[in-house]
């Protein structure tokens, strides 16, 4: 009897909650909302957002198409009084998320992400002193000038990637997507595991790579506002996992287990390695050394004074901050580089003429170096302007994190005569840049794609410098040693890779086929030797 009453009470409570929310959120202002789908009483634009669509459609493409329908780069979507504003141009995103960052730097409450155990990820936190402490701790070690310290290991990992590519070449020289993706994931995860936790053993690497692959599914699925009805119906978080139709809750329970293991297992291993004296210098050890291993009371007070903590409490809290930052880096860093590299291979497979021009530049720059027959290095980047243009154009055409994480307005605002109420979820859609032309059409970009391919304003991804350096080196090395071509059928007709993308926070291309062929016998040998032979280091 009680179970029956409980089952009946939940939908009734949901309806009452959302009707009340709708009535309370109706603004009394006279200015209109931005253009968007027609809002019906109570349910708003629910049917427009939930319109059946193919599995290949993505949120960023849907937002782009709605913008085209209403001829506006700023859209308003209302579902049960939950306001979402989508910014479909760099101009609108820069004005609101950059210039008015004091209003738009927070996050909406991400109910499904929190239910999935992601509350420790500071990327999902609202704009508070607790978030600022995380951001400050993280950025000290991952800002652009700090990444150079990791370049030697990035070279080693790139050498392993090239050797793996050379080893999977079959008699038909076809690189299978699953093989390519596995190699790229191994590469990206090995770099972030080393820089964050100092993990280098292959057995540990394999276990933690599988762990992050499982956990990354949670943030990819939950970070886009509206992916789950819980974003609009917060009371759904109280629905038990056994409730009929509560598959979302069962997913949350599963993801919460994976995310808990992700943030705790490598951290516990790091703490054990410190205790045994075998720890390698990395983000975790450097932060812990600054804390209680070499931390004085003044340092602790400085870092946590805005949280109103005592010295005893601050040490415990600061270790939690460091653990959270390490987990955030681990989760994000193991996925964003994968997306960038796979997208680069996919796009370049369509443009042999671009590869040829880039290879001409690479051959000229590398042959003029003190040691010839070298792989491109970070010290060559300033001389490889065409390769740099390719990299930036790919970022512009296919940003790895198209929508970023959602922002939230903390005050009423007006933009170009449109009203944006306090509490509105604001989404910057970087995918609305035209995906036309070749990936090297220009050498200068305004705005720089690096500034919006990883989020906006104060919430731009602080780990982007590592992802960009890692991906650039792979792109340059593959171009220097290989030709990327599309597959030919039995009738010698080229087959295009599938240029569709899976929906989620990070853009991943659907499986595609291509050939990655060494340019010559000497290039093949260079892929096998990597940077171990005659590597040139920056001054």
pLDDT tens digits, 114-142: 999 999 999 999 999 999 999 999 999 99
Is the distance from CB of 167 to CB of 175 less than 8 angstroms?
A: no
Between 311-348 and 297-304, two packed helices, what is the crossing angle to 10 degrees?
Answer: 60
Q: Give yes or no for residue 295 having a pLDDT over 50.
A: no
CB contact set of 31 (below 8 Å; sequence gap of 6+): 414, 417, 418, 419
Q: What integer is the mean pLDDT of 88-117?
A: 94
Better pLDDT: 410 or 10: 410
Across 169-183, 219-233, 411-425, which has the greatest mean pLDDT? 411-425
Q: Give yes or no for residue 53 having a pLDDT over 50.
A: no
Q: Which uninterrupted H or E stretch holds 365?
A: helix 352-367
The residues pairing with 514 across neighbouring beta strands, listed in sequence order, are: 175
- Using 50, 70 and 90 to split pLDDT, how confident is the model at 426? very high
Domain at 2-532, CATH homologous superfamily: Cytochrome P450 (1.10.630.10)
- Using 50, 70 and 90 to split pLDDT, how confident is the model at 448? confident
Closest by CA position to 323, among listed 129, 114, 134: 134
Better pLDDT: 28 or 409: 409
pLDDT in tens, 140-152: 999 998 999 999 9
Which sign, positive or negative, has the C-alpha torsion 109, 88, 328, 133?
negative
> What per-residue confidence (pLDDT) applies to 460?
92
Q: Give yes or no for residue 304 having a pLDDT over 60.
A: no
> What per-residue confidence (pLDDT) applies to 290?
87
pLDDT in tens, 165-216: 987 654 445 577 888 999 999 999 999 999 999 998 888 888 888 888 888 8
Distances (CA, A) of 128 to 102, 106, 120: 12, 8, 14
Sole residue written with tokens 């951290």: 267
pLDDT in tens, 458-472: 999 999 999 999 999
- Using 50, 70 and 90 to split pLDDT, how confident is the model at 294? very low
CB contact set of 271 (below 8 Å; sequence gap of 6+): none
Is the distance from CB of 300 to CB of 315 less than 8 angstroms?
A: yes
**Pairing relation of β-strands 508-509 and 501-502?**
antiparallel
CB contact set of 436 (below 8 Å; sequence gap of 6+): none
Q: What integer is the mean pLDDT of 59-63?
A: 87
Instruction: Give the span between the Cα atoms of 331 and 354, in whole angstroms.
Output: 33
Instruction: Give the span between the Cα atoms of 257 and 466, in whole angstroms.
Output: 28
| 515 marked as part of a ligand binding site | no
Question: Pseudo-torsion of CA 103, 396, 516, 362, nearest 10°?
Answer: -110
CB contact set of 30 (below 8 Å; sequence gap of 6+): none
Q: Give yes or no for residue 72 having a pLDDT over 70.
A: yes
- Using 50, 70 and 90 to split pLDDT, how confident is the model at 7? very low
CB contact set of 423 (below 8 Å; sequence gap of 6+): 25, 83, 108, 408, 409
List the structure tokens of 433. Answer: 């840049």
């Amino acid at each position: 009897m009680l179970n029956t009453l409980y089952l009946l009470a939940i939908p009734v409570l949901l309806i009452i909650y959302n009707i009340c929310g709708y009535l309370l959120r109706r603004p009394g202002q006279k200015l209109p909302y931005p253009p968007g789908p027609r809002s019906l009483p109570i349910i708003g634009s629910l049917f427009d957002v939930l319109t059946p669509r193919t599995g290949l459609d993505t949120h960023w493409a849907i937002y782009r198409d709605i913008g085209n329908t209403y001829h506006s780069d700023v859209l308003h979507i209302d579902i049960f009084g939950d306001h979402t504003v989508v910014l479909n141009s760099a101009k609108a995103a820069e004005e609101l998320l950059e210039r008015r960052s004091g209003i738009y730097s927070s996050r909406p409450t991400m109910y499904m992400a929190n239910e999935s155990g992601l509350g420790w990820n500071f990327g999902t936190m609202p704009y508070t002193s607790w978030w600022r402490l995380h951001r400050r701790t993280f950025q000290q070690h991952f800002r652009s000038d700090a990444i150079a310290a990791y370049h030697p290991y990035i070279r080693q990992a790139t050498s392993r990637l090239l050797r793996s590519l050379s080893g999977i070449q079959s008699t038909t020289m076809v690189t299978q997507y699953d093989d390519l993706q596995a190699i790229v994931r191994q590469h990206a995860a090995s770099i972030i595991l080393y820089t964050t936790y100092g993990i280098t053993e292959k057995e540990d690497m394999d276990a933690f790579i599988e762990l992050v692959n499982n956990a990354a599914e949670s943030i990819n699925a939950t970070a886009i506002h509206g992916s789950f009805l819980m974003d609009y119906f917060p009371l759904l978080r109280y629905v038990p996992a056994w409730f009929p139709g509560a598959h979302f809750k069962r997913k949350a329970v599963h993801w919460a287990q994976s995310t808990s293991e992700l943030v705790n297992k490598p951290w516990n291993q790091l703490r054990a390695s410190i205790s045994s004296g075998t720890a390698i210098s990395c983000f975790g050890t450097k932060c812990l050394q600054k804390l209680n291993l070499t931390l004085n009371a003044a340092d602790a007070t400085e870092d946590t004074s805005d949280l109103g903590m005592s010295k005893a409490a601050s040490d415990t809290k600061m270790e939690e901050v460091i653990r959270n930052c390490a987990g955030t880096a681990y989760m994000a860093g193991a996925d964003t580089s994968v997306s960038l590299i796979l997208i680069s291979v996919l796009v370049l497979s369509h443009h042999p003429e671009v590869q040829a021009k880039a290879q001409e530049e690479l051959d000229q720059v590398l042959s003029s170096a003190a040691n010839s027959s070298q792989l491109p290095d970070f010290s060559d980047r300033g001389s490889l302007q065409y390769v740099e243009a390719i990299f930036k154009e790919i970022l512009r055409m296919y940003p790895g994190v198209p929508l970023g994480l959602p922002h939230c307005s903390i005050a009423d605002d007006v933009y170009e005569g449109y009203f944006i109420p306090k509490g509105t979820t604001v989404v910057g859609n970087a995918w609305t840049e035209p995906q036309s032309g070749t990936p090297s059409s220009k050498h200068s970009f305004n705005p720089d794609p690096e500034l919006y391919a990883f989020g906006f304003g104060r919430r731009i991804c602080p780990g982007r410098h590592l992802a960009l350096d890692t991906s650039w080196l792979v792109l340059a090395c593959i171009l220097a040693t290989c030709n990327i071509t599309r597959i030919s059928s039995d009738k010698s007709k080229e087959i295009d890779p599938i240029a569709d993308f899976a929906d989620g926070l990070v853009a991943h291309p659907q499986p595609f086929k291509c050939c990655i062929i060494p340019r010559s016998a000497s290039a093949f040998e260079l892929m096998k030797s990597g940077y171990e032979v005659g590597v040139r280091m920056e001054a």
